[in-house]
Amino acid sequence: MDVSSPIPSHLDRTADAGNVVVNIGPSHPATHGTIQIVAELDGETVKRADVHCGYLHRGFEKEAEHHTYHKVIPYVDRLNYCSALNNGFAYAEAVEKLLGIEITRRCIVLRTLLCEYNRIADHMTCVAASIMEMGAMTAFLYLMTVRDYIFEHLNHLTGARLTYSYVRIGGLARDLPEGWLTRLEEILVFAEEYLERIHGLLDRNRIFIDRTRDVAVMTPEHALNWGFTGPTLRSTGLAIDLRKDAPYLAYPELDFEVPVGIKGDNYDRYYVRMCEIDESIAMVRQCVRLLSDGPVSVDDPRVTLPAKELVYTQIEALVHHFKLVSEGIVVPPGEIYVSHEAPNGELGFYLVSDGTSRPYKLHVRAPSFVHMGGMHTLLEGYQVADVVPTFGSMNMVGGECDR
Amino acid sequence: MTGRAPLSYEAIERELGGLVERSWQSFGMPVLELRAENLLPLVTRLRDRFDFALFLDVTAVDYPERSPRFDVVYHFYSRRHNQRIRLKVRVPAERPVVPTLAGHYGSARYMEREVHDMYGIEFAGNEDLRPILLYEGFVGHPLRKDYPIEREQPMVPYRTG
Amino acid sequence: MALMDYMTTKKDELVGWIRKFSLFPYPFVTACCGMEFMAVSSTLYDTDRFGAALPRFTPRQADLLMVVGTISHKEAPILKKVYDQMCEPKWVMAFGACATSGGFYRNYGVLQGIDRVIPVDIYVPGCPPRPETVIDAIMMLQDRIAGDHHPILPAEQRGREPSHANKVFPIFPAADRVPPSQT
């Protein structure tokens, strides 16, 4: 059966007869499975590149319009699945602001802690995948081991290793179990030890430097023009970070720095991410010290489910529970744009509510999607073998790019 | 970062008043509503005078029982003022055309392609409006309210045995 | 004749044993399950113990197609093409809820299960499945391969149908084969 490509490329006819058009992906190990790059090559140099995404389009926005606010939470988790908690907290903040709810102090600190904890896991995944694609299996396996301990730890807290569905509108699903914080400290110590090894393996590695230094260089103006945010933008030298510029959750109280790069090349992006992991580990420890006692979910009958003992014994609590689960949370009409500093960049949720229990419109401003729009500028002029490290340093997460 | 004052209401009125139909505040973010023909001059002024150099997002909202039907919504970020701003352009269903921002910001190309794919809104001046999240042969615009969610248009015929 | 049957059975056992411990997966990774695939291939839950560690990123050299993650309608032609390019014998693992049945996405974009376009040997439930589930699935697949008939001798090849021809289950009833909106 002859199946042609779902999208015609602009490069179907090459400008120069001596050039070759090569198709990379979408089923390709280095493109994280869902990006197709059609590249016109002159020998080894990429003359033009056409990046196609959308192979993982799962209809997130349409699903969100057909589900209640709580039922959207698992869909939100699967946007940037490497750091699912970050997505959930940004979405929950959008809904909570429309409702006019203030979350509790313990919830604020716990959400910040989990944001940073998931940021560690996400940056580790990005670095591990991109260096594995360059051939460094040892570093990949080290980082996978640490990441697996983080997953098991979060499994102890939320019930799932990867897509947690832990956030609730107005709070969190449950409080910390016994011994969670002790294990957290053990994992952080373990992570620091392994990160030292990664630094030792990669930072001054001749091969790594040759492959990533001065490859895919970006100036700050170029980065802003093409919409880059997050570590990719910070690697060019601009210290734009939502955690400092427009602090949310508990970030105003945390003491941290924003690492920036010098040249905006692949090496800088790798190093900015490694420094951000160190900053995140410090922030997690500060959050543990800031953690105070108290309820985790706000005591607002519009959003919080009643306690299970009451549901089983009192009729009012039963009916309340029933209405909250079947009809859903009713959010007053309005619109809001909330953006958080996700590990990939600025993750924004534009929520339009019409007063019913389903979002009228829930749009995700996905950093990976915008980065894919600008990525062809980073591929052109470099060699075809540079496609792999460049793509890896962008941390394109398919669920977020194609939604 | 110290020393970055948010954009004041008066500054918006003074500089942009002629191009804007309505403006209000939404949870700390100024929102400007304007007509499609004023979009390019407004965006140019925002970028040049107020340093809205980062184009964050363009999307659309579908109000099928309202005329004009679509609301095209833009978000921008200014480094100098450390502020985000939202622009809304009302677009009728019979002629859903908005000028493109691809000449101002490179990131607009992909995002406008997505809005075209999902809502069918034309961006005049953007030559590359191929489907990006959907595929050639997909009929219809899924995020419009009249597109049923379960209408699949498979590309590969299903197995029969 | 009984001796021939005995020899064929012994040959099948030997070939089955060899094939089951030298699986070359083609990880067709698209989405979140890919993270669990990376975890399963790593040191804590190792697929190398089962001989299934080395991924072959070309379908010509692979025999186990692991479809990891959601397959959208846009990706379905690519999946079909990759499956068609693989040589016999080949097995397909539907890794995760989205590959098995579309997961909890029921909309215009998602293929409701890869068995609508290619035959599947083993389904791994979970969203994403725990690594232990994946290892359990690999072991079940290995049991099936061990007990399968492997016609490798020239005498057995004549008049033989391709191996996927007998993988016709599940057959969807006619009403279910076309998406409801197109009936």
**Tell me, what CATH number does B18's domain have?**
3.30.460.80
- What's the length of chain B? 161
Beta-carbon contacts of B67 under 8 Å, excluding residues fewer than 6 positions away, are B92, B93
- Mean pLDDT for the stretch of residues A100-127: 93
C177 vs C137, residue with greater confidence: C137
Domain tally, chain B: 1
Distance from CA of B53 to the nearest CA of A (A): 6
Beta-carbon contacts of C5 under 8 Å, excluding residues fewer than 6 positions away, are none
In percent, the amount of chain A with pLDDT more than 70 equals: 96
A7 part of a folded domain: no
Distance from CA of A261 to the nearest CA of B (A): 18
- pLDDT attached to residue A284: 94
B140 part of a folded domain: no
Residue numbers of the domain that contains A165 = 68-402
Omega into C89 within 30° of 0, i.e. cis?
A: yes
B130 part of a folded domain: no
Indicate the residue of C35, C84, C110 with minimum beta-carbon distance to A58: C110
B147 part of a folded domain: no
- pLDDT attached to residue C162: 60
Q: Tell me the DSSP string of chain C.
A: -HHHHHHHHHHHHHHHHHHHTS--EEEEE-STHHHHHHHHHSSSS-SGGGT-----SSGGG-SEEEEES--BTTTHHHHHHHHHHSPSS-EEEEESHHHHH-TT--STTB-S-GGGTS--SEEE-SSSPPHHHHHHHHHHHHHHHHHS----SHHHHTTPPPGGGG--PSPPPHHHHS-GGG-
A115 part of a folded domain: yes
Residue-range domains of chain C with CATH: 2-182 (3.40.50.12280)
Task: Report pLDDT digits (tens) over A210-228.
Answer: 989 989 899 999 999 999 9
In a 3-state reduction of DSSP, which class is residue B47? helix
Strands (DSSP E) found in B6-154: 22-26, 29-34, 54-62, 70-78, 83-91, 97-99, 122-124
- pLDDT attached to residue C3: 81
Task: Report pLDDT digits (tens) over A259-300.
Answer: 999 988 999 999 999 999 999 999 999 999 999 888 888 888
Residue numbers of the domain that contains B100 = 9-124
B161 part of a folded domain: no
> For residue A142, is pLDDT > 60?
yes
> For residue C175, is pLDDT > 50?
no
CA–CA separation, C119 and C99 (whole Å): 12
**Tell me, what CATH number does A123's domain have?**
1.10.645.10
> For residue B161, is pLDDT > 60?
no
A372 part of a folded domain: yes
CA–CA separation, B98 and C18 (whole Å): 63
- Mean pLDDT for the stretch of residues A290-314: 89
- DSSP β-ladder status, B54-62 and B70-78: antiparallel
Q: Note whether A161 contacts C130, CB cutoff 8 Å.
A: yes
- pLDDT attached to residue A10: 65
- Which residue is associated with the tokens 């209000």? B24
Task: Report pLDDT digits (tens) over A317-333.
Answer: 999 999 999 988 999 99
Q: Note whether B161 contacts C108, CB cutoff 8 Å.
A: no
Beta-carbon contacts of B9 under 8 Å, excluding residues fewer than 6 positions away, are B23, B25, B30
> For residue B2, is pLDDT > 80?
no
- pLDDT attached to residue A14: 59
- pLDDT attached to residue B15: 77
Task: Report pLDDT digits (tens) over A46-91.
Answer: 988 888 888 999 999 999 999 999 999 999 999 999 989 999 999 9
A45 part of a folded domain: no
B101 part of a folded domain: yes
- pLDDT attached to residue C178: 52
- Mean pLDDT for the stretch of residues A337-365: 93
Task: Report pLDDT digits (tens) over C122-171.
Answer: 999 998 899 999 999 999 999 998 888 888 777 777 666 665 554 544 55
B40 part of a folded domain: yes
B145 part of a folded domain: no
Distance from CA of A396 to the nearest CA of B (A): 15
> For residue A2, is pLDDT > 70?
no
> For residue A250, is pLDDT > 70?
yes
Task: Report pLDDT digits (tens) over A377-399.
Answer: 999 889 988 888 898 898 889 88
Residue from C24, C26, C28, C30 to probe the interface with A (highest A Cβ count within 10 Å): C30
> For residue A160, is pLDDT > 60?
yes
Q: What's the pLDDT band for A11 if we cut at 50, 70, 90?
A: low
- Which residue is associated with the tokens 């090559």? A41
Query: What ipTM is given for this predicted complex?
Result: 0.92
B150 part of a folded domain: no
In a 3-state reduction of DSSP, which class is residue B122? strand
Domain tally, chain A: 1
A282 part of a folded domain: yes
Task: Report pLDDT digits (tens) over B90-135.
Answer: 999 888 899 999 888 989 988 999 999 899 999 998 888 888 888 8
Beta bridge partners of B32: B23, B87
Q: Which two tokens stand for residue A251?
A: 């970030």
Q: Where are the alpha helices (DSSP H) in A291-328?
A: 308-313, 315-326
